[in-house]
């Protein structure tokens, strides 16, 4: 992963990027998102995660939001996948400075010649990434997160006064990586604190909540997090016969947040998955 991050940093540098330049990431697939994010960071560039658009429903509104974030962040390069490139290229219809748009599969292909690149020195107070708010009540606003901010945050919530990281911990997550819980909780935090993580695409959970629980079972996950609705959906959609095929006794932390938490939902989940060894104290 480290070698690939530096390879991507070199290829980003070849686009003309300099230290501190912003790189917008419109990527849904976890593998490409994580490696592209890390490539930008080790290259001294500033990644800007942006939620991707899965369909053309409400596409105009999405492009307006995308144009706002690209402009506010001053992104000069935008990385996307083949599946959403068409909608991303609609930025050209807006009155903005359109960044370079690149398909990650092409830009970072294995057979691409990698130029020489000397990574810049990074100061703890340097900007690590820009994280934009969801824009639920107003236009998305960017939050400047430094390397020092990130380390302080992650070591706090995974340290002795938080989840109290253990050597045996394994995280399992389907959460979107452009939101705080997914990005900090299941990518950057575990990276800083050395916790192996199993990531699955959000769309797989949306298609079948059972796949989330199966991943915990197969990977022997000890930590997972999700909003209230996910626990409610899992308790409703996973059939009793399917519950019996699972072993969730490994799960020590089943976190809940990002929206109002309902005690009835947590009780329902705990009761429904008790036959699978789920411990209510988790």
Per-residue pLDDT reduced to its tens digit, 146-157: 999 999 988 888
pLDDT of residue 57: 58
- Mean pLDDT across the stretch 71-89? 91
Residue 195 reports pLDDT greater than 60: yes
Residue 47: which of 111, 114, 104, 106 has the closest Cα? 104
Q: For residue 123, give both structure tokens.
A: 């100061």
Long-range contacts of 168-171 (CB under 8 A, 24+ apart): 168/222, 169/195, 169/196, 169/222, 169/223, 170/195, 170/196, 170/197, 170/198, 170/219, 170/220, 170/221, 170/222, 170/223, 171/195, 171/196, 171/197, 171/198, 171/221, 171/222, 171/223, 171/224
Number of Cβ atoms within 10 Å of the Cβ of 60: 11
Residue 81 reports pLDDT greater than 80: yes
Identify the structural domains of the chain with CATH numbers, from first to last. Answer: 2-146 (3.40.50.980), 158-276 (3.40.50.980)
Query: pLDDT confidence of 104, banded at 50, 70, 90?
Result: very high
Rounded to the nearest integer, the mean pLDDT of the chain is: 91
Q: For residue 82, give both structure tokens.
A: 């083949």
C-alpha to C-alpha distance for 12 and 238, rounded to whole angstroms: 43
C-alpha to C-alpha distance for 119 and 105, rounded to whole angstroms: 23
Instruction: Please give the model's pTM, rounded to 2 decimal places.
Output: 0.88
pLDDT of residue 274: 95
Residue 179 reports pLDDT greater than 90: no
- Mean pLDDT across the stretch 260-266? 92
Residue 85 reports pLDDT greater than 50: yes
């Amino acid at each position: 992963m480290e070698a690939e991050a530096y390879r991507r940093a070199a290829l980003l540098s070849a686009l003309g990027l300099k230290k501190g330049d912003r790189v917008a990431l419109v990527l849904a697939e976890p593998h490409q998102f994580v490696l592209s994010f890390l490539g930008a960071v080790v290259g001294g560039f500033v990644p800007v995660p942006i939620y991707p658009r899965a369909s053309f429903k409400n596409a105009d509104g999405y492009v307006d939001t995308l144009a706002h974030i690209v402009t506010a962040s001053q992104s000069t390069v935008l990385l996307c996948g083949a599946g959403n490139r068409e909608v991303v290229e609609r930025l050209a219809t807006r009155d903005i400075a359109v960044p370079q748009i690149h398909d990650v599969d092409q830009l970072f292909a294995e057979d691409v010649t990698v130029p020489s690149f000397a990574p810049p020195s990074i100061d703890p107070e340097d900007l690590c990434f820009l994280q934009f708010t969801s824009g639920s009540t107003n236009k998305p606003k960017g939050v400047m997160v430094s390397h020092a901010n990130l380390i302080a945050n992650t070591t706090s919530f995974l340290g002795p006064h938080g989840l109290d990281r253990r050597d045996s911990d394994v995280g399992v997550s389907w959460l979107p990586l452009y939101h705080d819980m997914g990005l900090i909780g299941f990518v950057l935090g575990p990276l800083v604190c050395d916790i192996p993580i199993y990531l699955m695409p959000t769309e797989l959970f949306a298609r079948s909540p059972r796949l989330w629980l199966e991943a915990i079972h197969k990977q022997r996950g000890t930590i997972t997090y999700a909003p209230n609705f996910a626990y409610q959906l899992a308790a409703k959609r996973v059939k009793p016969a399917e519950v019996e095929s699972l072993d969730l006794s490994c799960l020590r932390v089943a976190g809940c947040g990002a929206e109002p938490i309902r005690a009835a939902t947590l009780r329902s989940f705990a009761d429904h998955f008790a036959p699978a060894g789920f411990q209510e104290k988790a």
